[in-house]
Structure 1
Amino acid sequence: MAAKQKASAKIRIGVGGWTYEPWRGAFYPKGLVQKRELEYASANLTSIEINGTYYGSQKPESFAKWHDETPDDFVFSLKATRYATNRRILAEAGPTIERFFKSGVTKLKAKLGPINWQFATTKRFVPDDFAAFLKLLPKSVEGLAIRHAVEVRNDSFRTPEFIALAREHGVAVVIAGDSEYPQIADVTAPFVYARIMGTTDGEPAGYSSSALDLWAKRAKTWAAGGSPPDLETAAPPQPGEGGREVFLYVISGAKERNPAAAMALIERVS
């Protein structure tokens, strides 16, 4: 708990979801009832990426419940519906995007963080179509400002034209860390969204101490308005304008170790 209270307000660190059986007795104390797992997770992490929204709609009552079960300063990121991104013509996604935002996500109120629009590895960069998609993303819904991130997983996006387009719309490019996906670490928005996927069973905290130190250093650099020089970018970096909010999620890898890795990173960015 102390680590969470001391963590920088500009750097939010967490995991994907909170319901995972191997975390019971490892991350979650033995005997903790399942309905209190979100309460426990949100007391020890500073953000969670909700993955269930990618696969299907959640109930408005669920979003309201999640809002009420978490601390005042907690923030959820959401993976947007796959039905908007897994399509041949992205410019036709408007009705699907509208339905997503009418599904109750605004019940999270001020705890609604960035929306992650994740694309398949086979989705290639078609400039005009992708530009049309970005224009469909709302800047606000029901009075809430909405931030967007795009998780592209095809090498065709590794181009200055894509980076310029993301910057034009103020959309973050999700930074893939320690993974098989293309790393495009260009900062394109007033916030940074990173997903690191390299935890292993052999490390109690998922990552070695040196690897955790390195990711914490990168997060601090982003928060200060800089760009880590050791990550791959597709275009020349632009100077930062003041501080940025950073969202960093420990995803995939040895999933049972991810909460420990996230908590170790929270300690380091304090």
Structure 2
Amino acid sequence: MSKAGTIKTGIAGWVFASWRGEFYPAGLTQKQELAYASEHLGAIEINATFRALQKPANFRNWARQTPQDFAFSIKGPQLITHIKRLKKIETPLANFMASGPLALGARLGPFVWQLPPSLSYSAERMEDFLTLLPKTPADAATFADRHEDWMKEAATSADGVTAIRHAIEVRHESFANPQFIAQMRKHNVALVTADTAEWPTLDVTADFIYCRLQGAPRRESYEAVLDRWATRIAAWSEGRPMSDGAFVGLSPEAKPRDVFAFFVSTDKVHAPANAMALAQLLGARSGE
């Protein structure tokens, strides 16, 4: 039997006032919060990269505060997804790659690209974007080397990086197209599983799974559905068929896959608890 994929459950961001006294113990300083979160969770999605480029020193500092087997996923910049809408993005993509993600080394998880709700499916635009994305550490380093000269600090070495993975979250109904699913599979890019009313499908398109668990409208708690998600994630990880849900295309080969599952917005105050409860249901502490 093939070895099961790694499962990491986590949260989006780690600095939230409502978590103090709820998740973070009283008296814990803000500077200690990342280290504390990484001891109890397997991964964190960094959202600050969506608004602005960060600095390599930030990524190195975050890496130093977390265990070796911890993973950070990195949200792609709005300049690429929302402003330029995936067009003429070679230079912004090079600047982003050079801004510090590669400095995470072994802790670098997937890049996640969230498309705006108004962006409809174009096969040509998606093919250009998917082709452009670097797929290996060497490719990412080469891309980072092409950053603009105004960047005083740049991290262009991929030392320690074990894989470059990408996930795309779509939010327009026109993407419910078998051609799009086929494109994603050709490039081994994961279609984000987002449990929203706008995008309820669970098509597997890569050698890993990326879940952004946001909650359907008016859902106030994940407690009632955690077991269902645990069942789905276990099937993906173990390489068993998973047919519980809506799908656009045909199911791919069932094989073990790594799974990243982040609790993102709805029931935010309980996101860390939900992530830990899901990991417990899956039979292991987050990150193991």
Please give the TM-score of this superposition, normalised by the length of structure 1.
0.91
Distance 1:266 1:68 in 2: 24
CA 1:16–1:80: 2 relative to 1, 3 Å? same
Once the two structures are superposed, residues 166-200 of structure 1 have per-residue CA deviations (whole angstroms, 9 ceiling, x without a partner) of 000000000111x2321231101000001111299
User: What corresponds to 1:170 in structure 2?
Assistant: 188
Whether the 8 Å CA contact 1:17–1:51 is kept in 2: the answer is yes
Structure 1 gaps of 5+ residues are 1-7
Deviates more, 1:31-40 or 1:221-230: 221-230
When the two chains are superposed, the root-mean-square deviation of aligned CA atoms in Å is: 1.9
1:83 to 79, 84, 104: 79
Counterpart secondary structure, 2:225 = helix
- After superposition, the C-alpha distances for 1:116-173 in whole angstroms (9 at most, x for unaligned) are 0110001000001110011110012234331000111000000100000000000000
Please name the residue that 1:207 is paired with. Answer: 222
Superposition deviation, residue 59 in structure 1: 1.3
Amino acid at match of 2:60: A
Q: Could you tell me which of 193, 204, 207 is aligned with 1:187?
A: 204
* Contact 1:201-1:254 at 8 Å conserved across structures: no
Provide the residue aligned with 1:3 in structure 2.
none
Partner of 1:229: 243
Stretch of structure 1 that moved more, 247-256 or 142-151: 142-151
Quote the Cα distance in structure 1 between the aligned partners of 2:80 and 2:127. Answer: 14
In 1, distance between residues paired with 2:219 and 2:10? 20
Give the aligned partner of residue 34 of structure 2: 38
Residue 227 of structure 1 and its aligned partner are, at CA, apart by: 4.6
Partner Cα distance (2:32, 2:202) in 1: 36
1:155 matched to 2:173? The reply is yes
Count of paired positions: 258
1:115 is aligned, of 95, 100, 111, to: 111
Residues 200 and 254 in structure 1, CA contact (< 8 A), matched pair in contact too: no
How far apart are the structure 2 equivalents of 1:182 and 1:230? 15
Is 1:127 the equivalent of 2:141? no
Which residue of the partner structure matches residue 265 of structure 1? 278
The letter for the 1-side match of 2:192 is: V
CA distance in 2, matches of 1:200, 1:70: 34
Q: Aligned-pair distance for 1:88?
A: 5.5
- What amino acid does structure 2 have at the position aligned with 1:165? Q
In 1, the alpha carbon distance for the partners of 2:91 and 2:265 equals 31
* CA shift in 2, pair 1:201/1:91, >3 Å: closer
Q: Which residue of 2 aligns with 1:53?
A: 49
Deviation at 1:82, TM superposition (A): 1.0
Q: C-alpha distance in 2, partners of 1:217/1:41?
A: 25
Ranges of 4+ aligned residues in structure 1 off by more than 4 Å: 199-203
Equivalent position amino acid for 2:246 in 1: E
Shift of 1:19: 0.2
Change (3 A) 1:109 1:269: same
Structure 1 residue 91 displacement after superposition: 3.8
Q: Distance in 2 between matches of 1:198 and 1:125?
A: 24
259 and 231 in structure 1: CA distance in 2 versus 1, 3 angstrom threshold: same
Partner letter of residue 229 of structure 1? S
**Match for residue 4 of structure 1?**
none
In structure 2, the CA distance between the partners of 1:114 and 1:188, relative to structure 1 (3 Å rule), is same
Q: Which residue of 1 aligns with 2:152?
A: none
TM-superposed CA distance for 1:201, in Å, is 11
Q: In structure 2, what is the Cα distance between the partners aligned to 1:194 and 1:111?
A: 18
Against the structure 1 CA distance between its residues 130 and 153, is the aligned structure 2 distance closer, same or farther, given a 3 Å change threshold? same
Give the match's secondary structure for 2:212.
strand
Q: Which residue identity lines up with residue 232 of structure 2 in the other structure?
A: R
> 1:86 aligns to what SS in structure 2?
helix
| 1:195 alignment partner, SS class | strand
